[in-house]
Amino acid sequence: MASPRTVTILALSVALGLFFVFMGTIKLTPRLSKDAYSEMKRAYKSYVRALPLLKKMGINSILLRKSIGVLEVVCGIVMTLVPGRPKDVANFFLLLLVLAVLFFHQLVGDPLKRYAHALVFGILLTCRLLIARKPEDRSSEKKPRPRNAEEQPSLYEKAPHGKVKVS
């Protein structure tokens, strides 16, 4: 039977992966929701306006939105389907991405309700990464039990005829 830790990591990986696939797809295409897609376009225009350095680097709102959307979709798929270390790498990239998005929201002065989901998912990504990177608890394995002082054998034992025997 799978340990609670394994089940937790799997559940968080699938839920977070699907969420980021969904959010990335909304940034890339209006097929899922035209309103959400339009809102993303508007938001990314304000992010680029608030950071003139992006314009100087040749990054416009479309490139920024599509880059973040593709990264979210790819990392979301990895977190949902790919086993092992790649999940942790995807988790790390998504966490960096969430931090960047939180920075953007703060930069343009959005109210908390506009970025509360990013805070929640950032916390969930952090928890998943911490649980996944924590070494497996080996308490279920058979360990030799330490003996107390009365149970430990003495170096000097008395032989049946009264003489001291050295071990």
Whether 65 maps to a domain, the answer reads: yes
Whether 125 maps to a domain, the answer reads: yes
Whether 47 maps to a domain, the answer reads: yes
Whether 151 maps to a domain, the answer reads: no
**Beta-bridge partners for 166:** 156
Whether 32 maps to a domain, the answer reads: yes
- Per residue in 21-41, pLDDT (tens digit) is 999 999 999 999 999 999 999
Whether 115 maps to a domain, the answer reads: yes
- Per residue in 67-115, pLDDT (tens digit) is 999 999 999 999 999 988 999 999 999 999 999 999 999 999 999 999 9
Domain carrying residue 49: 4-133
Whether 150 maps to a domain, the answer reads: no
Whether 153 maps to a domain, the answer reads: no
* 77-86 contact pairs (CB < 8 A, 24+): 77/17, 77/21, 78/17, 79/13, 79/14, 79/16, 79/17, 79/20, 80/13, 80/14, 80/17, 80/18, 80/21, 81/17
**Beta-bridge partners for 165:** 157
Q: How many CA atoms lie within 13 A of 116 on its CB side?
A: 4
This prediction has a pTM of: 0.76
